[in-house]
A and B are shown apart, each in its own frame.
Chain A
């Protein structure tokens, strides 16, 4: 059946790119492009990994992550955060809230693959 990843991202082209890379690596890819119902989508889909953008319409990625970390079910869920802002305080914020990994856009495809493989071996 393979590993299951949920990509929460509002930029369609980026969704397309990530989906392409991970599908080729054998992942089952689900996508979601809205912030406000992202937590329930995670709970509904129960993915092995979540790739989460910070700037989402409706709700910020940080808020979503902290919700996930408070729930028992998703406390240990691997979450890779992506952000286009890329300032050091964003990285600190992500680590504080409990992101498993943090990557700044634009990323290299190989790097994403490597990180994803580390998070879900």
Chain B
């Protein structure tokens, strides 16, 4: 059995051990005994997935090639942890309060839960991480090869592509088993975190062990080793300020934006206080990891034959010294580095892919109906597993196409530059409320395109995507588009060139577009939540119990829907859940219905945000509430405008209907009036015509007959004239064309005039008056008032059926009116006719006696209306009684 077979066996055993650790950690967590799982130490160790196979193997190679530059990769994260842990705390707090599952989720959530942004970030993350995974495959594959070189039983090294494929498949299986055994709501994987913490210890121990062996076992002590370092090129501080700054910045950015780092830093974080410990403990870990890099590199360069791969010195130096056990440990360290990175990266990416790409598509395809049923969990798990396999497949393909020969560090830096594109939207998102979705998206697109064009595609070598022709002269000979000398600025290191242009333009576009666009309410709300996370989440754990939430929901719903509707809705929901009262459990179904109910009033986005605010247990700032209230107020204003319009329409319709009815009525009245006039005119004319024909045609009429018939003709002609006069008078009065002749006078004079004009004194109607009361000065149209009185006296004269008819005229003052009552001692007017007497042609008794056309009282009514007074029938006075009222001012004005 050769060493290679032993290697495979050790690997499998190691993986089995890790699996056991993860399994037990998860069991402990499930039983609630996982307190020790959530220690700052475990958190710090889990952060060590920053140190991948690149760091384990590649740092030595990097040092062997570029001297101390490898340190930049450690300095960046160290600076972040030491100098910016408060910023990290903010990130972690946001992740906890917003229940963030990945960096794509964070960015999309910040910018109004935009799925397009989430999809794009996911794609960038997958593409950006692919070289990195390839790097792990390459390092594991190389380490197998290195072992094989020293294994006498292996004549020929197996196909390294096949090895890489086996490694990729193995890691995929491993990750699926680890990362998707169950579906945790908050995407925390206690087992995985525990396993990578163990791996962190293994890789540090392995590297330190190799370092100790190199310094003391090979080099003969510290001082000798230092002397040897001083003698070598590596010891020279060849600092290229620009490049160093760029690399430190890049590694710091990548530390925050790498999907796997975000996973352990934010998503898997149990307690933000762990950051305090990690802020010094993780830099210490990094320092230990970097401590022996230079000694190993220097020793390797001395011991190993020229041309051997410095990336493998950690492995090959012990092997060359016959220290198989140490080499095995070293191999396990490298293997740990690679596997922990791949596992976490694959978990992080698969979460993003399944949450933001697969599930939305699946839900669209299935119409969302399956949301209710239970099989959605299987779909999610399947999506995760497929995503993990896909991510590793991509890594393998990159490994194949990039040739597998590149230095580990350069591959890693390509990844760093790719994911660093998340930095502007991430930082802008948590510190700048003005950042908008479109700004983030535009900046990301620009940065991503530059990265792909100037760094990723050229990394495949000149044969695959970017020909040497394009690299040298630009596409289609356009010089300023040369991938590694954009805008004509050449001479830079390709990596620095890409980092500078992509992040600069990304940031500029992000800021400019953000300033130029207006955030949607959801973005404003989320922006405030993110930027002011510390004000908003003062007590992130103090909430419990569903009823309290329901009560909050009810308070909110009442404000929006109105108390009655909200209460009946809540009661209905509670009844559906089999509960009495008004507070249902805040089940997803209930929340969904509530949101739908609310969105009818405030719009879907706001409703979603408001329910989310309450269920997410974060409060909203006054400003945000104002913004939401603005939106609501606008809607309410709009709806009240609509309501007003509708009310106006209703009113107009009513007015039109009324006008139409009135017109119809008027038309009927006009017909009736014309018909009446016709009758009133034709009747006297009939007599006139008939008798004039008799006078003309009949022979032998007596003198008496001639006189009589001529008299009839005469009186009927007078009747006609009077009728026409009345009609004219009424028409003038009704049209308001009458000009009043206002004069000062005395009421008694007007009555006196009226009595004299009718000649009643001589005709047997006795007048009953109290002249002292009549002595009231008035200011009115005296002639018109007299006309009214004459009419009333004449009516009494005509219609009073008493044996000894008399007419009493009583004058009183009441309520600012001067009242003149005309009451006779006849039988009066039947009550059913009283309402009609003021209408035109409303003679109620037989008309021979009346001798008028029935227009008298109608004329009186019109006159009194013109004089600002009134005339009415006064029932219950014994005989016919009319009351004329004049406003006091007409009377007073004369005083």
Contact B683 A14 (CB under 8 A): yes
- Within B659-694, which residues are at the interface with A (CB < 8 Å)? 675, 678-680, 682-683, 685-691, 693-694
Count residues of B near A (Cβ-Cβ below 8 Å): 22
A118 at the interface (CB under 8 A from B): no
| Chain B residues within an 8 Å CB radius of A17 | 686-687, 690-691, 694
- Residues 6-27 of A, flagged 1 when their CB comes within 8 A of B and 0 if not, give 0000111110111011001000
| Chain A residues within an 8 Å CB radius of B848 | 10-12
Contact B687 A84 (CB under 8 A): no
In the complex, A104→B685 CA distance in Å? Answer: 12
Q: Which residue of A lies closest to B705 (CB)?
A: A20
Contact B686 A11 (CB under 8 A): yes
Contact A14 B686 (CB under 8 A): yes
Q: How far is the CB of B242 from chain A (nearest CB, A)?
A: 109
| Chain B residues within an 8 Å CB radius of A57 | 846-847
B697 at the interface (CB under 8 A from A): yes
- Within A85-113, which residues are at the interface with B (CB < 8 Å)? 85-87, 104-110
Q: How far is the CB of B710 from chain A (nearest CB, A)?
A: 12
Q: How far is the CB of B285 from chain A (nearest CB, A)?
A: 112
| Chain A residues within an 8 Å CB radius of B687 | 11, 13-14, 16-17
Contact A85 B678 (CB under 8 A): yes
Q: Which residue of A lies closest to B676 (CB)?
A: A85
Contact A10 B690 (CB under 8 A): no
In the complex, A86→B683 CA distance in Å? Answer: 11
A55 at the interface (CB under 8 A from B): yes
Q: How far is the CB of A21 from chain B (nearest CB, A)?
A: 7
**Known contacts A10-B846, A55-B679, A87-B675: does B686 contact A107 (CB below 8 Å)?**
yes
In the complex, A12→B683 CA distance in Å? Answer: 11
Contact B679 A24 (CB under 8 A): no
| Chain A residues within an 8 Å CB radius of B675 | 85, 87
CB contact between A13 and one of B678, B691, B693, B697 (< 8 Å): that residue = B691
Contact A21 B683 (CB under 8 A): no
Tally of contacts, chain A with chain B, CB under 8 A:
68
Contact A24 B698 (CB under 8 A): yes
| Chain B residues within an 8 Å CB radius of A24 | 698
Q: How far is the CB of B664 from chain A (nearest CB, A)?
A: 17
| Chain B residues within an 8 Å CB radius of A85 | 675, 678-679, 682
B505 at the interface (CB under 8 A from A): no
B716 at the interface (CB under 8 A from A): yes
| Chain A residues within an 8 Å CB radius of B697 | 109-110
In the complex, A55→B854 CA distance in Å? Answer: 15
Contact B689 A108 (CB under 8 A): yes
In the complex, A94→B816 CA distance in Å? Answer: 55
| Chain B residues within an 8 Å CB radius of A105 | 682-683, 685-686
Contact A106 B712 (CB under 8 A): no
Contact A107 B690 (CB under 8 A): yes
Contact B694 A21 (CB under 8 A): yes
Q: Which one of A14, A55, A84, A107 has the greatest number of beta carbons of chain B within 10 Å?
A: A84
| Chain B residues within an 8 Å CB radius of A55 | 679
Q: How far is the CB of A13 from chain B (nearest CB, A)?
A: 4
In the complex, A108→B694 CA distance in Å? Answer: 10
Contact A108 B682 (CB under 8 A): no
In the complex, A106→B690 CA distance in Å? Answer: 8
Contact B846 A86 (CB under 8 A): no
| Chain B residues within an 8 Å CB radius of A21 | 690, 694
Count residues of A near B (Cβ-Cβ below 8 Å): 24
Contact A86 B678 (CB under 8 A): yes
| Chain A residues within an 8 Å CB radius of B683 | 11, 14, 84, 105
Contact A109 B846 (CB under 8 A): no
| Chain B residues within an 8 Å CB radius of A20 | 694, 698
Q: Which residue of B lies closest to A11 (CB)?
A: B683
Q: Which residue of A lies closest to B700 (CB)?
A: A24
- Within A22-80, which residues are at the interface with B (CB < 8 Å)? 24, 55, 57
Q: Which residue of A lies closest to B691 (CB)?
A: A17
- Residues 684-728 of B, flagged 1 when their CB comes within 8 A of A and 0 if not, give 011111110110011000000000000010001000000000000
Contact A14 B682 (CB under 8 A): no
| Chain B residues within an 8 Å CB radius of A104 | 682
- Within B700-758, which residues are at the interface with A (CB < 8 Å)? 712, 716
In the complex, A84→B680 CA distance in Å? Answer: 8
In the complex, A24→B699 CA distance in Å? Answer: 10
In the complex, A47→B12 CA distance in Å? Answer: 138
Contact A13 B712 (CB under 8 A): yes
Contact A14 B846 (CB under 8 A): no
Q: How far is the CB of A86 from chain B (nearest CB, A)?
A: 6
| Chain A residues within an 8 Å CB radius of B694 | 17, 20-21, 109
Contact B679 A108 (CB under 8 A): no
Q: How far is the CB of B335 from chain A (nearest CB, A)?
A: 114
| Chain B residues within an 8 Å CB radius of A12 | 848
Q: Which residue of B lies closest to A58 (CB)?
A: B846
Q: How far is the CB of B721 from chain A (nearest CB, A)?
A: 16
In the complex, A97→B637 CA distance in Å? Answer: 65
Q: Which residue of A lies closest to B678 (CB)?
A: A85
| Chain A residues within an 8 Å CB radius of B682 | 84-86, 104-106
| Chain B residues within an 8 Å CB radius of A10 | 846-848
In the complex, A20→B691 CA distance in Å? Answer: 9
Q: How far is the CB of A45 from chain B (nearest CB, A)?
A: 22
Q: How far is the CB of B322 from chain A (nearest CB, A)?
A: 134
Contact B690 A14 (CB under 8 A): yes
CB contact between B716 and one of A13, A84, A86, A108 (< 8 Å): that residue = A13
In the complex, A59→B775 CA distance in Å? Answer: 48
| Chain B residues within an 8 Å CB radius of A13 | 687, 691, 712, 716
In the complex, A55→B841 CA distance in Å? Answer: 13
- Residues 835-851 of B, flagged 1 when their CB comes within 8 A of A and 0 if not, give 00000000000111000
**Known contacts A10-B846, A57-B846: does B685 contact A106 (CB below 8 Å)?**
yes
In the complex, A109→B847 CA distance in Å? Answer: 24
| Chain A residues within an 8 Å CB radius of B691 | 13, 17
Q: Which residue of B lies closest to A108 (CB)?
A: B693
Q: Which residue of A lies closest to B848 (CB)?
A: A12
Q: Which residue of B lies closest to A54 (CB)?
A: B679
Q: How far is the CB of A37 from chain B (nearest CB, A)?
A: 14
| Chain A residues within an 8 Å CB radius of B685 | 105-106
Contact B679 A84 (CB under 8 A): yes
In the complex, A20→B693 CA distance in Å? Answer: 11
In the complex, A106→B680 CA distance in Å? Answer: 11
| Chain A residues within an 8 Å CB radius of B688 | 106
Q: How far is the CB of A115 from chain B (nearest CB, A)?
A: 14
Q: Which residue of A lies closest to B712 (CB)?
A: A13
In the complex, A69→B87 CA distance in Å? Answer: 110
Q: Which one of A24, A86, A87, A109 has the greatest number of beta carbons of chain B within 10 Å?
A: A109
In the complex, A41→B322 CA distance in Å? Answer: 154
In the complex, A86→B676 CA distance in Å? Answer: 11
Q: Which residue of B lies closest to A18 (CB)?
A: B690
Q: Considering the complex of A and B, which 7 residue pairs feature the smallest CB-CB distances, nearest first?
A: A17-B690, A13-B687, A84-B682, A106-B686, A105-B686, A106-B689, A84-B679
Other 5 A-B pairs with CB < 8 A, given A10-B847, A106-B690 = A10-B848, A17-B690, A105-B685, A106-B689, A108-B689
Interface of A toward B, CB cutoff 8 Å: 10-14, 16-18, 20-21, 24, 55, 57, 84-87, 104-110
12 examples of A-B residue contacts, CB within 8 angstroms: A10-B846, A10-B847, A11-B848, A13-B687, A14-B690, A16-B712, A20-B694, A21-B690, A21-B694, A106-B685, A108-B689, A110-B693
